[in-house]
Structure 1
């Protein structure tokens, strides 16, 4: 395997308008909504010149929000500030900023749809 092991992520949603509003406010990003077959997708911004991957919110017949399963961690400048934005946007705090030693810090939250997600920063 060459490069980064993850190339794309999808976050299941039940209410696209609510989820799009949540992520727009929580992360100060614009999401582009597209129809892909039976699914409605709201795409996160992606810059091909930068490392890492992008993804989308997805509403479709095989997508169900969950608190258990895979974890996606969003990179951020500082975990506590981002957790505050998430709560203001309507998300729920699940784990306050916590040190993970030499790897930085994490925090956990539940989004507007009930998905459990994480934040990671070096400071």
Structure 2
């Protein structure tokens, strides 16, 4: 009987490496997310050369997980797909309040997971996507 080779697990820094949040109106979504997170998104076309407008979230370094708002006919915003959880900072109450002031709808209020894991909340963004926030407090 021959031995079956086993895969050697490789160490990875993050399971997630990139995310895309579909939008119907890129300018409106950029205003919304820049307001919620108090950041500036970098707007550009898709690096592959496709005519796909994008607005990329800032990241601290090359290994940080980040993503973009993306406007493309094949990407439809909606609240029933995968939920992306974004960093709510030290206390997600701050960006959650800004999201609600910017027109978001509260889907799940700030809720404790466990004291060790922290808190989460969810809102429906300007485009109709369900977005999660996570923070330690």
Q: Normalising by the residue count of structure 2, what TM-score does the alignment of the two structures yield?
A: 0.84
Residue 38 of structure 1: how far off its partner (Å): 2.3
The equivalent of 1:17 in structure 2 is 27
Residue 52 of structure 1: how far off its partner (Å): 3.8
Instruction: Report the secondary structure of 1:118's partner residue.
Output: strand
Cα distance in 1, alignment partners of residues 97 and 59 from structure 2: 24
Cα pair 1:8 1:53 within 8 Å, conserved? yes
- Offset from partner CA, 1:22-81 (integer Å, 9 cap, x none): 0011110101111121210001112216x6401000001211001112111111221222
Which structure has the greater CA radius of gyration? 2
The equivalent of 1:113 in structure 2 is 127
Unaligned runs of 5+ in 2: 1-9
The equivalent of 1:73 in structure 2 is 85
Cα distance in 2, alignment partners of residues 117 and 108 from structure 1: 5
1:91 paired with 2:104, answer: yes
Unaligned runs of 5+ in 1: none
Quote the RMSD (CA, aligned, Å): 1.3
The equivalent of 2:70 in structure 1 is 58
How many aligned positions are there?
122
- The structure 1 segments of at least 4 consecutive aligned residues displaced by more than 2 Å after TM superposition are none
Cα distance in 2, alignment partners of residues 45 and 98 from structure 1: 27
